[in-house]
Structure 1
Amino acid sequence: MDVTVGQELLGTETEADLSEWLVEDGSEVTEGQAIAELETSKVQVEVLSPASGTISYVAAEGDVVEPEMVIARVN
């Protein structure tokens, strides 16, 4: 399952920085677990895992991400 950046996380912002991964690439995650932090000019928000499984990064810390962009996959 793709992990995407929902517009609801960004509010009125059009992009954010992926400031930190909170789990290691290849680790097991559970649905609803905080897996990454995004930082906009106004707020810092957590991205939650949409499913349980093994996470694989698509984006790296420091990348600029936009709404609906895939940042990871959970299999």
Structure 2
Amino acid sequence: MDVVVNQDILGSETEADISEWLIEDGSEVTAGQALVELETSKVQVEVTSPMAGVITLIAAEGDVIEPGAIIARIA
């Protein structure tokens, strides 16, 4: 399953920076676990895991992402 940053997460913002990954690439995650912190010009938001599994990071800390961007995959 793809971890997608959508407009619901970003609110009215059009882009966000990946400020910090809270997990390591290849680690096991649980549903609802905090994965990453995103920073917009207005707020910092946390993205949680939609499911349990092993995560593969696609985006890196410091990357600027837009709505619809896939930042990781969980299998």
- Work out whether the TM-score is over 0.5: yes
Structure 1 gaps of 5+ residues are none
- Alpha-carbon distance in structure 2 between the residues aligned to 1:64 and 1:14: 10
Tell me the secondary structure at the aligned position of residue 67 of structure 1. coil
Runs of 4+ off more than 4 Å: none
1:39 deviates by 0.0
TM-score, with normalisation over the residues of structure 2? 0.97
TM-score, with normalisation over the residues of structure 1? 0.97
- Alignment-derived partner of residue 19 in structure 1: 19
Identical counterparts, % of pairs: 69
Structure 2 gaps of 5+ residues are none
1:68 deviates by 1.2
